[in-house]
Amino acid sequence: MSGTTQTDAGNSSGGSVAQTGGAGSGTGGSGTAGTAAGTAGASGGAEVGGSAGMATGGGGGSGGSIDPSSLDKFSFFETSMVAMRKLSKSDNGFGGDLRYGTADGLTGADKICTEIAESSMPGASAKQWHAFLSTVKGPVNAKDRIGQGPWYDRTGRLVAMSLTDLLQDRPSMADAAIKQDLPNETGTPNHRPNPNAPEDDNHHVLTGSSPMGTLYGQTATCMDWTTTSMDNKTTGRPRIGFSWSVQGRTNWISGQDEGGCGAGVTGVGTENGGSDPNNPIVGSGGGYGGIYCFALEP
């Protein structure tokens, strides 16, 4: 696969992982296009200060002014690579271990979502954020964790009005600007998180879920999001969805099995496609182990 691939089974998110920094730093409250989409310096793994890369400035993303009254709708995003690298304190991200200093993978993933949401919009952590992930224990189905909608991106654009609309190949009521390329926490369609750089092959997103948002199988969740083991014969291969569509791979929830649970990144500045069981990491076919985050109410 890509020469940029890195693996690091030892970067799992133990209790000493750093927090996102000053939760109020970064976007401010004005709701301008610069605050919602200031991603020019927050991609490609660049170091960012204080708020997981959501510093002000930079053009890309939604364009134009954002109505401040729409900002409180913020209730959906895909975690960007820069944010996942910052929280994990590793260029390889979290891999399949999302505990982030908590007792289990779902609690840790929810914490990741909450901190990234806060870094993007100060005050957003007051909402109840859940990761769109399924687990074997329970079992827990991702669709049952996220409320009933509606959901909006960081700039107030509609993602889905209801769970029925959401659980489609692509969210059926999504704003046309983001339907085929779901946005990250800045409101920027994530295929090109840095508008000043080429597109990334980064569309693989961890879900462990079937197209209907239910548990995909017993080996689809990296042991319920607690391991970065490279032994995919033991841990299985996590199920991923596609945040943007390419070559017939369109379902945002469930499209294929990733290479494995190891931490690692591929596809930065490239177009790869597929997944590789011989490269047992969460991003073997184009990704970095990103997750989808939903607020239970907008």
CATH number, position 113: 3.10.100.10
Reported as a single tens digit per residue, the pLDDT across 246-297 is 888 899 999 999 999 999 998 865 555 567 888 999 989 899 999 999 999 8
- What residues make up the domain containing 180? 69-298
Proportion of the chain above pLDDT 90, given as a percent? 66
Mean pLDDT of the chain: 81
Tell me how many domains the chain contains: 1
285 lies in a domain?
Answer: yes
Reported as a single tens digit per residue, the pLDDT across 122-164 is 999 999 999 999 999 999 999 999 999 999 999 999 999 999 9
> Mean pLDDT over residues 165-172, rounded?
98
Return the higher-pLDDT residue of 121 and 61: 121
CA angle 275, 279, 285 (to 5 degrees): 25
4 lies in a domain?
Answer: no
91 lies in a domain?
Answer: yes
286 lies in a domain?
Answer: yes
Reported as a single tens digit per residue, the pLDDT across 97-122 is 999 999 999 999 999 999 999 999 99
